[in-house]
Amino acid sequence: MALSVLTAWDVRPGVGSDSNGGGFHTGASGTDFSQQNAAQYTFSDLASVSALVVSSASHNFVAADVGNIMQITAGTGFTTGWYEIVSVGANQATLDRSPGTVGVGGTYAVGGALATISQAITAKVQGNDIWVKASGSYTVTVTQNLVAGDGGTGNNLTRFIGYTTTRGDNGKVTWTTATNSIALITFAQANNFLFQNFIFSSTAGTRGNGFTAGTTQIDGNLQLVNCVFDGFNIALNGPFVGTYCWAPLVMIGCEVKNCIAQGILNGYNVVMEGCFIHDNAGDGLATANTGDAQQSMSISRTVFYKNGGKGIQDNSGAGNNNFLFMENVAFVQNTSDGWSQNNGAATCNIVINCIFDQNGGFGFSVGSWKAVYQRNNAFFSNASGKYSGGGPVPAGEVVLTGSPFTNPATGDFSLNNTAGAGAACKAAAYPGAIPGGA
């Protein structure tokens, strides 16, 4: 056997211990002792009874122990590591696999959270949940490397989930560094990860990237939910050439800000929903012109604000046919174009219900062979004009006489009530009702 895909780990920076058991098999019949700072019990007299069975003179194993993870850290004849207690009887515990058939004097712990995410990554198997409590900032001085086999295959998804008080409360945990030139996480052919409820940041004098893709192969299926990236060189660096990319990169309810270069650089598919990409010195989001033929973007309910380059610089698909869909996206006060797409071959672009407000170049700019279907988009005071290469005036276009937003400087992108500005955008989206529906 092996540890179950249903194993959940608990990490509590500053108050847990990397010598604790740290985990529990979700749904097991015992009591989960991992959701506490200290081990439930720890002794140094573990002994092998048979291949899978152990005993301890200091502890009578009971039904509450079932499902908990035992960490064996020392002992003669033992293989150190993490083992699940799958059953108990006669003051003995049966483990999921053999820790050694002639072990004596084993040091072990059951229960209690781990102290570091890196220890949880060492302990877990593919598809486990790693819960991280905001018991203190998780501050690192070295890069965490995720490699093939760390994530999951098939339907398995390894999930890192922050919380403040109780699991599932969506409280954020700070994962940060002050060390020069390091990335928080690098990926090497590592697939199927979700990170939820984290503030990733760097305060180093020389900033590294936040996440960096691997150098040998595309990394598959990176999902980010309710996360913040603050103050990196590039928050998510996956340019496809030299360093590869994520396929796809999915961002739900995330914020990327204050990066020295681009906020996000990815050479494959990007999906964004409800994100805020702002105040990055370069482009908010950029794709690579050597990206894959399957490259596409789907972006909705997202704001690109005050990025020092373009809101989106879409270089997708050198010689390939690609696809972009944007709906309910605002491009506001970016130094250059709101959105630009000038490389690659024929590309289908669908742009609906978007607002282009006071960008330093065009609202959007596309090159030749870029088919754009746009409808019910609004434009105000873009320095070079509404758009370049957008074709004939589409249905429902709204030309504004003022900025439609309440107070972008404070992050308030609600529509104001000013005539010719926010008021002109209200109820102007397409479709008002689904055709054929009520």
Of the pLDDT bands very low, low, confident and very high (cuts 50, 70, 90), residue 366 is: confident
Residues 162-205: pLDDT tens digits? 999 999 999 999 999 999 999 999 999 899 999 999 999 999 99
pTM metric for this prediction: 0.95
What percent of the chain lies above the pLDDT cut of 90? 79
The whole-angstrom separation of Cα 389 and Cα 342 is 10
Sign of the alpha-carbon torsion through 102, 105, 107, 109: positive
The whole-angstrom separation of Cα 367 and Cα 83 is 58
* Cis preceding linkage at 408, omega within 30: no
Which residue is associated with the tokens 């740290």?
22
14 and 36 together in one domain: yes
* In the predicted structure, residue 136 carries a pLDDT above the cut 80: yes
Q: Is residue 416 part of a domain?
A: no
Radius of gyration for the alpha carbons in the chain, expressed in angstroms and rounded: 26
* In the predicted structure, residue 19 carries a pLDDT above the cut 90: yes
* In the predicted structure, residue 318 carries a pLDDT above the cut 60: no
Q: Is residue 247 part of a domain?
A: yes
Q: Report CA dihedral (388, 390, 393, 394) to the nearest 10 degrees.
A: -150
Q: Is residue 409 part of a domain?
A: no
Task: Name the token pair of 326.
Answer: 């944007």
Residues 214-238 have a mean pLDDT of 93
Residue, of 318 and 64, whose pLDDT is higher: 64
309 and 233 together in one domain: yes
Q: Is residue 140 part of a domain?
A: yes
The whole-angstrom separation of Cα 346 and Cα 44 is 68
90 and 157 together in one domain: no
Of the pLDDT bands very low, low, confident and very high (cuts 50, 70, 90), residue 291 is: low
The whole-angstrom separation of Cα 139 and Cα 13 is 9
Q: CATH number of the domain that 285 lies in?
A: 2.160.20.10
92 and 130 together in one domain: no
59 strand-pairing partners: 56
Q: Is residue 188 part of a domain?
A: yes
The whole-angstrom separation of Cα 220 and Cα 189 is 8
Domain carrying residue 375: 124-404
Residues 46 and 107: beta-carbon distance below 8 Å: yes
Q: Is residue 219 part of a domain?
A: yes
Residue, of 422 and 348, whose pLDDT is higher: 422
Tell how many helices (H) and how many strands (E) occur in the chain.
2, 39
165 and 306 together in one domain: yes
* In the predicted structure, residue 241 carries a pLDDT above the cut 80: no
